Amino acid sequence: MKIRTGFVSNSSSTSFTAIWPEEVDNLKKWLEESKRTVLNYKQRLVEAEEALANALAGDHRVAESDKIIMEKISLAVKNNFTVIFCIGENKEERRKKKTLNVLKKQILNGLKKNKHDFKKIIIAYEPVWSIGTGKIPSPQELQNNAFNLKKFIKKKFKLKCNPKLLYGGSVDKNSIRFFKPIKELDGFLIGGASKSSKNFIDIIKNFYK
């Protein structure tokens, strides 16, 4: 059984919100409580949600600094958690064809002071413009981004095998069929659709059709 735990802030009611900078001092306490909670489970997951923090945009953009993201990842790995490191470009960055440059920068900034143990770090590509919108990258666009991300990470961090890469962003029972043929993807982060057991089961069924 795999348990995924996320950083939850009292600043929002959503279960997928990041810890704000002023709450970083509480991170150690949260990790210790989480470790006790999931101690009996084999797999322990924690998210560094850069992409999602950036997605919480209204009239202003809410974002975490690279320093905060790096500290979260370092602390989580140090406490023997497996990190799901979420990255993603916004709508404007995609329009200007800066996607890969943005993603590479996020990876380097988030992992630059870590030991790069990719047995404990999973990259999740979550385009900010896709989260909760029903819009998804074309299969060709997603395959290209996934291929180049894996190639970049493997070369940059001198890995002997490919890193694990997940996709998240409007994954539902209908869109899953477009993602299935993309061999570069090792799995998916499912957000709103996972709130309903029926929808979640439908995603699984449609993937294996």
Is the pLDDT confidence value at 200 over 70?
Answer: yes
R_g over Cα of the chain: 16
Q: What is the pLDDT of residue 194?
A: 86
Quick: pLDDT tens for 7-47. Answer: 433 333 333 333 334 444 455 555 555 555 544 443 445 55
CA distance 27 to 188: 26
Residues linked to residue 87 through DSSP beta bridges, in sequence order: 125
pLDDT band at 89 (very low <50, low <70, confident <90, very high): very high
**CATH fit for domain 2-207, picks 3.40.50.2300, 3.30.230.10, 3.40.50.1370, 3.20.20.70:** 3.20.20.70
Q: What is the pLDDT of residue 63?
A: 55
Higher pLDDT, residue 59 or 135: 135
Give percent of the chain above pLDDT 90: 45
Question: What are the boundaries of each domain within the chain?
Answer: 2-207
Whether residue 62 contacts residue 53, with contact meaning beta carbons closer than 8 Å, is answered with yes
C-alpha torsion angle, residues 65, 66, 72, 74 (rounded to 10): -160
Rounded to two decimals, the pTM is: 0.74
SS (H, E, C) 74-127: HHHHHCCCEEEEEECCCHHHHHCCCHHHHHHHHHHHHHCCCCCCCCCEEEEECC
Is the pLDDT confidence value at 82 over 80?
Answer: yes
- 154 is written with which tokens? 């493997």
Q: What is the pLDDT of residue 77?
A: 81
Identify which of 168, 172, 200, 199 has the alpha carbon closest to the alpha carbon of residue 186. Answer: 168
